[in-house]
Amino acid sequence: MKYFIPKITAFLFLFLFEISHACSTCYGDPNSNAGKGMDMAIITLLGVITPLLIAIAAGIISIGLKSKRINQNTLNND
């Protein structure tokens, strides 16, 4: 069993590699309408997800700084 999983993984990579195909954005005609649509979809998703992740990170940092400030104030008052 110890060597079974690596053998199966090697088999899948070596013999089934030709079966798998990338999308037209990565592999194919970049000037086709489907390829252009995929490009715009990727750009749109990046445009939506990036500000959302930045806002989440800013919120976490803000909460951390407020918590640190409150903890310092309570230690100084004691």
DSSP string, 60-75: HHHHHHHHHHHHHHHH
Q: In this predicted structure, what is the pLDDT of residue 38?
A: 84
Q: What is the pLDDT of residue 23?
A: 62
pTM: 0.56
Note the pLDDT of residue 78: 62
As for how many domains the chain has, the answer is 1
The average pLDDT across 23-35 equals 72
Check pLDDT > 90 for residue 32: no
CA distance 44 to 26: 17
What per-residue confidence (pLDDT) applies to 4?
Answer: 81
Structural domain harbouring 60 = 3-77
The mean pLDDT of 16-45, rounded to a whole number, is 76
What is the rounded average pLDDT of the residues 52-58?
98
φ, ψ for residue 11 (rounded to 5)? -60, -45
How many Å apart are CA 23 and CA 67, to the nearest integer?
Answer: 46
